[in-house]
Every structure is written in C-alpha cells, then in structure tokens.
Amino acid sequence: MSLYRNVRRDKTLMAGLVILVVIVGLTVISATDLRLLTSYSPYSLNFSASNLPPSAKHIFGTDQEGRDVFTRVLAALPVDILTPFIIVVASVLLGGLVGVVAGYLAGLVDEFLMRITDLFLAFPGILLALAITEILGQSHVSLRLLYSEVALIVVGWPVYARLARGQVLQVKNMPYVTLAKVSGLSRTQILRRHVLPHLLPLLLVYSTLDMGAVILNYSVLAFFGLGAPPPTPELGRMVYDGLSALPQNWWSSLFPALIITIIAVSFSLMGDGLRDALDPRMGERYARA
C-alpha cells in the first residue's frame, strides 16, 4: 500500500512510468499486428515516395527507399525492447547468483568468483561486445543477434555480481542476522528471510536503470550492423542508414535516435523513482530522530 502511495507521490516515477506504458503498449501491439497502428508496410520499397519530409501523411517522413519512418520505428520496437530486456534479465540472474554465492560463502569461493568478476569488469565494455560480435558474427550473419546478446550479457553481469555481493556482505553482518544464527536458522533460511528480500528491490532498481544503458549499447551494436539481420528494422541501424541521406533527409536518422533516447531516459527516470519509493529507511529515519 505504502509503495503504491509512494509511486503516486513521486513525479519522476510517474513520468517514467507513463512513457514506458505507452511504449510497451505500442510494442505489444506492433508485435501482434502492425497494421493496427499504421497503413504502411515497414518493408516494401516505394522509390516514388522516397525522402518525403515529415507531414500529416508521414509524421516522421520517409527514408531513401520510400518507407514510412514512423512505421519502421514501430516495427523496430519489439526487437529493440525485447533484446535489451533479455540481456538485462540474464545479467541479473547470472550476476545475482555469482554475487550471492560469493558473498554468502565467503572465503576462497568468494576470492575465486570475485577474481573472475574483476577480470570481466576490467574489459572495456562495449568494445568487448563489438569485438565478440565482429569476430563471431563474420561467418554467421543470422546468428549475429544472438552473439550481440551474449556479448552484452558477458559485459553486463559483473556489475550485478559486485552489487549483490556488497549487499549480501552488508546484511550478513547486521545484528539481526547474528540473532537469527543464535536461534538456529540455517544458511538457506537466513538467505530467504533476511538476505534476498533486501537484495531483490535493489536489483530491480538497478536493472531498471541499466535497461536504459543497455538499450543505448545495443543500438550502438545495431548501428554497426551487428544486430538482427536485415530486413528486420532496428532503431540503431535506421540511424546508420539515415546518415547517408544527410543533410537533406535529416528525419530518417533523427527520429529513430530520438526514440532511442526517450526510451532510455524513461527507464532511468523510472529507476530513480523506484529507488526512492522502495527505500525502506525513510520510515526508519523518522523513528530514530
């Protein structure tokens, strides 16, 4: 209940939420049946209508091949939202697991896992992803999307591992965990009761913030042609394709870029808002004052 009230009170969270609901709504409809949203096809070429500026008929204009940019943006949404989502979820699961195990078991296991984590953390993120996809993707164009995903997961999980480990270590030393041990709760019971409930909201907040970053990163990969194989529209690739039509046709690169930014920003607004809404210490602080 109090979460609900906090959500309503928080304007950032509200703003992020509203934009996201709209975007996710459009994504779902677009994935089910694009024709509900637009009368154009995202694929068929029509050179007689190429390079039309934004107008009532084509609100984002048309590209060099005469396709409606708005339609292509809509068609790109499922890939551009779902792929980062998969990447983030996989990173959270992998990183969370490693972090919890390391923090909880401590000792040599911790040492070992954290060495590995640091190794991955030391790579320059997006470059690593570019390299992986570039090398592996040469031979199998159709698998490029998968490679990009794997690459971004490889780059993404260590942060979650660090985060989870830090939280587990912090909670593990709280006096209430000591009390639980005295009472004979087993490690798994303590984990379920005290550690995870503390960790999950944090991972939720962080992964929401991270969605924005991953969407940007993924667009960069797509920009370099390392995303889904053509002709599937993708926002990042659309920006790239639009660049060759500059400066006359600015709309076919600008609008996709704008949409990427809006989505990324709305995730980070939402993450910020969630962080405030979920902060359990707000009540605590008053009580102690």
Partner 1 sequence: MVEVRDLTVSYKVKGGTLNAVDGVSLAVRKGETVTVVGESGSGKTTLGMVVLRLINPTSGQVFFKGEDITRLGEGELKRFRGRMQLIPQDPYSSMNPRLRVGEIVSEPLLGREDREKVKEALNSVGLDWAVVDRYPHELSGGQRQRALIARALVSDPEFLVLDEPTSNLDVSIQAQILNLLLDLQSSRNLTYLFITHNMAVAKYVSDRVAVMYRGRLVEIGDAKEVMSNPLHPYTKALFDAVPEGDFRAKLRELEVRDEGRQKGCRYSDRCKFVRDQCRLREPDLLKVKENHEVACILY
Counting contacts by CB under 8 A, is residue 3 touching partner 1?
A: no
Cis (ω within 30 of 0) for the bond into 231? yes
Q: What CA–CA distances, in Å, run from 173 to 163, 196, 280, 281?
A: 16, 14, 18, 18
Q: For residues 67 and 194, which CB has a smaller minimum distance to partner 1 in the complex?
A: 194
- Provide, rounded to whole angstroms, the least separation between the CB of residue 193 and partner 1: 8
Distance CA 91, CA 83 (A): 12
Distance CA 142, CA 42 (A): 20
**Structural contact between residues 128 and 154, judged by C-beta atoms closer than 8 angstroms:** yes
Chain positions 86 to 105 lying near partner 1, rule: CB under 8 A, are none
Applying CB under 8 A, which of residues 183, 188, 247, 248 lies at the interface with partner 1? 183
Q: For residues 184 and 247, which CB has a smaller minimum distance to partner 1 in the complex?
A: 184
Handedness of CA 264, 270, 273, 275 (dihedral sign): negative
Counting contacts by CB under 8 A, is residue 185 touching partner 1?
A: yes
Applying CB under 8 A, which of residues 22, 174, 246, 262 lies at the interface with partner 1? 174
Counting contacts by CB under 8 A, is residue 288 touching partner 1?
A: yes
Q: For residues 107 and 175, which CB has a smaller minimum distance to partner 1 in the complex?
A: 175
**Structural contact between residues 205 and 10, judged by C-beta atoms closer than 8 angstroms:** no
Q: For residues 100 and 221, which CB has a smaller minimum distance to partner 1 in the complex?
A: 100
- Enumerate binding residues for partner 1 (CB under 8 A): 174-176, 178-185, 189, 193-194, 197-198, 280-281, 283-284, 286-288
